[in-house]
Amino acid sequence: MNAFKYIVSALGALALVYLGTVFSACRAIVYVDPASALIALGVPLLLLKAGWSFKGMGAAFRNALSDSAGGAELEDARLFFATAFRYLMATGPMAFLLGLIAILGNLADKARLGPNLAVALISMFYAVLTALLVCLPLEAAAKRRLGKVGSPGYRM
């Protein structure tokens, strides 16, 4: 998978998600919540930082999309995106539980129920969307190319 094809595919998928919100008579701005993004994306990023430098993270993106990456680079990219996926899938439910705790802690304040539920759901949405648009396609690209490394007729 080259970078252009990946970007077009990811933007196309994001556009379909946006159209889904428009067709459901909802404004897209309700899906923007900095607190949810901080939890759902910041926590996995910091956990990934424990195993990869920012330079190593950039290399994982580059190698997953590059035709010139070798077996070791592709394996590292595959491992990076598989790990990122697992962190996102753990962080999404954790963020949902944080929102649920906020709801249960403020049951008397009816004005806070909706916003707290929104934080819970949007945090989960951000984690799933990031996994779907970033981790799964790039891990698949690295796996597919990794299977070709060492096979007859493969050229780097």
* 10 CB burial (10 A radius; 0-12, 13-18, 19+): middle
pLDDT band at 154 (very low <50, low <70, confident <90, very high): very low
pLDDT tens sequence across 47-79: 999 999 999 999 999 999 988 888 899 999 999
**Domain range annotation of the chain:** 3-148
Query: Nearest-CA neighbor of 39 among 120, 144, 155?
Result: 120
Q: Output the pLDDT for position 149.
A: 64
Q: Output the pLDDT for position 155.
A: 47
Contact partners, residue 23, CB within 8 Å, separation at least 6: none
- When pLDDT is averaged across residues 101-120 and rounded to a whole number, the result is 86
Q: Output the pLDDT for position 73.
A: 94
Q: Output the pLDDT for position 153.
A: 47
Count of other CB atoms within 10 angstroms of residue 80: 24
**pLDDT higher for 118 or 61?**
61
pLDDT tens sequence across 6-43: 999 999 999 998 888 888 877 878 888 898 999 999 99
Tokens at 88, concatenated: 């996102």
